[in-house]
Amino acid sequence: MPEFTVEDVALHKSRDDLWVIIHGKVYDLTQYLRDHPGGADVLIDVAGTDATAAYEDVGHSEDADEIMQTYLIGTVKDAQQFVRKAAVRVIQAVPPPVVATAAKSSSRTRAVVTTGSAAGLLSLLYCLRPRNGSLQPQNTIREAFARLPRGTHLLPAAITNLRLPHGGFVNGFAAAALISATIGTIAAVQLSKLTQIDSGFAKYPPHMKSRRLPKPDPHNIPGFLVPKDYKTLPLVQKDVLAPNVYRFVFQLPNATDIIGLPIGQHVAIKAIVNGQTVSRSYTPTSNNLDRGRLELVIKCYPDGLLTGQYLANLQVGEEVLFRGPKGAMKYKPNMCKRIGMIAGGTGITPMYQLIRAICEGDTDTTEISLVYANRGEEDILLRVELEAFARKYPKQFRVYYMLDNPPKGWKYGKGYVTPQIMEAYLPKSAADTKIMLCGPPGMVNAAKKGLGGLGFEMPGAVAKVGDRIFCF
């Protein structure tokens, strides 16, 4: 590949001629400005420079790495290897172990053992005393226990007041056995208390467990797709939905196969166009409930390398390379109470995927509010399907359209999705509310600023599933 110096790259730093260096490679991002998810200003700020540190700080995904290969034009002469700064590790002091409880238990154990030993000794003395001797069992036991360590109060008073028979080895042996058995029982009870674990579940009465197993989520079952490897599928149907917008239907190997795509995830398509390897990601409008097929709705821009020069000319019967699932979003039923959506153009596809899964889910009660923006009425994609869901689930799904050029008698909105529109047709900021965005970068960036003014927490540069504002 061509080799450039740092000075060569520095000459290309304008909006109409923008080069950057990333990991010793040179990329011409002039044509990518309008498509960059973070907005054009982010790229303009690093134009003509080594942007490796900024690229790594943001933490780009595999999608970004694949897209960058499309714009690779050369390498940097004498490039220096990028080394990430080592993170500072804070070591917290470990508190000394607590020994008070163990000491207390040990003390009680010694007391119980001492009690048993003393009682056994007294029993032996009683057995061996002379028939007419002066040893008095009751007095001797009471006096002996009075001198024992703390903890012997665990012995009941009834033992020390026990009336013992006088005289004879047999009577003495019987008394000794009685005392030893009693003391042994008390000692065993106390030792059991010392070693017993006071666990929470033991405090509650037993109950019967339900044998009913939860239903597996059909959208989390693995299928045809493989995350790391590309696999081919033939195109079996191609329909025009709007100007330059197509529905592509690809056939899986078997009629019962599923694509294996969790809700919120997308797939990557790869092709070689004009000698270049190009890869882009798209969200299917089909899911695991649609067996034997993978369906995509894509707008093919005339100047688009993959869409305009490849997909727009794709014919039924030709095969396409796919891999997945990919993406930061992996939706779970009832992830939050309310979801607000702002979509523009073909940005409706990931929204439709979620809307369909939520409305068709037996136990998902999430409420959805969608604001969908387009240029004209003919550009509204999946309108029939969206309005069918709105009619069937009126308490769960609402849709409001915005058009740049509305027809006469249009009953929805006109113009941009402003903060006023967001406040009127989207849920308020709350801990159990999430807003999702997908569409042209300019619209997405303006929407984020407007939502920030309405009290929503702004997302980071890289989308995370826990973001209050999630950008596909």
| Number of other residues whose CB lies within 10 A of the CB of residue 389 | 22
Sign of CA dihedral 322, 324, 329, 333: positive
Mark whether 266 is an active-site residue.
yes
Q: What tokens does 387 get? A: 């309005």
- State the catalytic residue, choosing from 71, 282, 372, 425: 282
**Identity of residue 429:** S
- State the catalytic residue, choosing from 70, 115, 283, 433: 283
Mark whether 32 is an active-site residue.
no
Q: What tokens does 132 get? A: 């007419």
Sign of CA dihedral 11, 13, 17, 22: positive
Mark whether 336 is an active-site residue.
no
297 is in an annotated binding site: yes
- State the catalytic residue, choosing from 27, 246, 266, 300: 266
Cα–Cα distance measured from residue 251 to residue 254, given in angstroms and rounded to the nearest whole number: 8
Q: What are phi and psi of 466, to 5 degrees?
A: -85, 0
299 is in an annotated binding site: yes
131 is in an annotated binding site: no
Mark whether 300 is an active-site residue.
no
109 is in an annotated binding site: no
Query: HEC string of the chain?
Result: CCEECHHHHHCCEECCEEEEEECCEEEECHHHHHHCCCCHHHHHHCCCCECHHHHHHHCCCHHHHHHHHHCEEEEECCCCCCCCCCCCCCCCCCCCCCCHHHHHHHHHHHHHHHHHHHHHHHHHHHHHCCCCCCCCHHHHHHHHHHCCCCCHHHCCHHHHCCCCCCCCHHHHHHHHHHHHHHHHHHHHHHHHHHHCCCCHHHHCCCCCCCCCCCCCCHHHCCCCCCCCCCEEEEEEEEEEEECCEEEEEEECCCCCCCCCCCCCCEEEEEEEECCEEEEEEECCCCCCCCCCEEEEEEECCCCCCCCCCCHHHCCCCCEEEEEEEECCCCCCCCCCCEEEEEEEHHHHHHHHHHHHHHHHCCCCCCEEEEEEEECCHHHCCCHHHHHHHHHHCCCCEEEEEEECCCCCCCCCEECCCCHHHHHHHCCCCCCCEEEEEECCHHHHHHHHHHHHHCCCCCCCCCCCCCCCEEEC
- State the catalytic residue, choosing from 52, 55, 70, 438: 438
Cα–Cα distance measured from residue 437 to residue 472, given in angstroms and rounded to the nearest whole number: 6
Q: Identify any residues that bridge with 281 across adjacent strands, giving them in sequence order.
A: 268
Give the torsion through C-alpha atoms of 328, 330, 331, 333, to 10 deg.
Answer: -150
282 is in an annotated binding site: yes
Known binding-site positions: 280, 282, 297, 299, 349
Active site (catalytic) residues: 266, 282-283, 438
Known binding-site positions for FAD: 280, 282, 297, 299, 349
